[in-house]
Amino acid sequence: MDKPFDVVVCGGGIAGIAAAVAAVRNGAKTCLLEKEYALGGLATLGLIVIYLPLDDGDGTLMSGGIAEELLKLSYKYAPVKRLPDEWRNPASKAERAGKRYQTEYSPGAMILACEELLLNEGVTIYYDAHVTGVVKDSGLCGVTLSTKRGPRDILGHAFVDCTGDADICWMAGERTVDDPTNVRTGWHYTYDGTDLRLRGLSDPLYGEIPATSRRYSGTLLEDISQNVIDGRRFILDNLKKLRETNPDVYPFLIPSYHGLRMTRRLAADFEFSEDAHERVWFPDAIGMIGNWKRPHLRYSLPYSAIAGKRNDNLYVAGRCCAAEKSGWDLTRVIPTCSVTGQAAGTAAAIRALTGKPVEVAPLQETLVRDGVILDRSLMDTVYGGQ
C-alpha cells in the first residue's frame, strides 16, 4: 500500500495547478492526479487561451497571489500578447483604469511552464490518472484510479476536487448540481501561411441558440460525446466557409478536450451570486475578483463556496465550486479558478497538517501572506449586515 500524501489534488486544470502549488508551498506533501497527459484542462487542451482580467476595470487589482503568478507564467516561454503596458509596467491607478489586466497566451508554452513550476515546487504529478472512485474509512481517506494495471488507491489526508465536473464531490456523497444547458463550442486556431488566428466559435451563451443546434449536459456520456462531435462539425463548417474566400486557410490546431462551460458543481445552502453579492464583503472571504463581462464591479468569494459539506477534508476549486447560476459565470473563468484553487489548496494543506477542521482566520492570514488580496475596504456592505 502506498504511503498517504498530505494533499491529493484531483484534476490538473488551472484550478488544480493553483491548488497544488498552494498546498506544496504550505508544507504539504502533494500529489496531482490528471487523467490527460498535460496540465491546463480547458485552458490549454481546450484552447481557451484568454486569461480574463484580474482587475475591476477601474485600475484596482482584485486577484493577486497565484492568480497573478499564473498570468505572468503564461508568457514565460512565449511572446506576451494583448497585455496592456499599464499592467505590465509600473503605472498609476488612473493610467490603468479602463485597461483590463488580461492576456492571450500560447497553450503549448503554458503547458510547459506549468509542468515545470509544479515539478520545481515538488508536486508529484500522475498523468493517465483517472479518478473513478473514493476510499472511505471513518471519513474520506483516498481516491481510486483506473490504471492500465487495474484499480489503484491514492491515499491522502485532505483532497481538492479540481475535476471541473465535481467528480470527487459526487463520488464522496456531496450534494451536487448539474447544468444541462451547455452550448456547442469550437475554439481553434487556423493558419494560412501568414496569419495564425484564434477562432472562438460558440453558440450564444446567454441568448437563443440557432434552431439547428441544441443544449448538452456535461455529465451524460451521450451528451458529452455529441458536444465534442458537434463542436468539430462546427469547426469544419466554419472552415469550409473560410476556404471559399481564402483557399490557403486550414485548421492549424483543434481542441483535444470538450468545450463545456458549466457541467456539475458542489451545492451549498448559501451560494455566491453575480448581482446579489456585488461589493459584498464575506467575513469568511478567501479571495476577490472583478467581473470579466463588465467593469466597475467587485466581489469577494466566501469559504462556503470551496468547502465540502459532508466531508470535512474535501475542498473544491475552479468551475465546480459552489455558486448559483449567475455566480457560476464568474467562478468558472480562469482567474477565478486560480483564486479558488489557491484557497482550496491552502485550506487542504492546513487541514492535512493540523488534522483539525480549518478555521477561517488563520486561513485568511496565510492567504494574505501568500499574496491573495482580501481587502474589506474595497467592498460596500458586509454579508449578513455585520
Residues near ligand FAD (CB under 6 A) are 10-16, 33-36, 41-43, 48, 50-52, 129-131, 162-165, 167, 185, 187, 202, 259-261, 318-319, 332-334, 337
Nearer to ligand FAD, 114 or 281 (CB): 114
Closest approach of Cβ 44 to ligand FAD, in Å?
Answer: 8
Kindly state the cell numbers that stand for 132: 473513478
Please give, one letter per residue, the 3-state secondary structure of 184-244: CEEEEEEECCCCEEEEEEECCCCCCCCCCCCCECCCCHHHHHHHHHHHHHHHHHHHHHHHH
- DSSP-assigned beta bridge partners for residue 289: 299
Nearer to ligand FAD, 100 or 319 (CB): 319
Nearer to ligand FAD, 62 or 281 (CB): 62
Closest approach of Cβ 77 to ligand FAD, in Å?
Answer: 19
Which residues are within 8 A (CB) of 325 and not within 5 positions of it... i.e. 6 or more apart?
A: 179, 262
Closest approach of Cβ 364 to ligand FAD, in Å?
Answer: 22
Tally the C-alpha atoms within 13 A of residue 356's C-alpha that lie toward its C-beta. 5
Closest approach of Cβ 202 to ligand FAD, in Å?
Answer: 5
Alpha-carbon span 348 to 316, nearest angstrom: 10
Nearer to ligand FAD, 75 or 281 (CB): 75
Closest approach of Cβ 283 to ligand FAD, in Å?
Answer: 25
Closest approach of Cβ 311 to ligand FAD, in Å?
Answer: 16
Tabulate helix, strand, coil % of the chain (nearest 5): 35, 25, 45
Amino acid at 6: D
Closest approach of Cβ 127 to ligand FAD, in Å?
Answer: 9
Nearer to ligand FAD, 59 or 341 (CB): 341
Nearer to ligand FAD, 4 or 133 (CB): 133
Alpha-carbon span 217 to 9, nearest angstrom: 25
What is the enclosing helix (H) or strand (E) of 93?
helix 93-96
End-to-end CA distance of the chain: 49
Nearer to ligand FAD, 281 or 304 (CB): 304
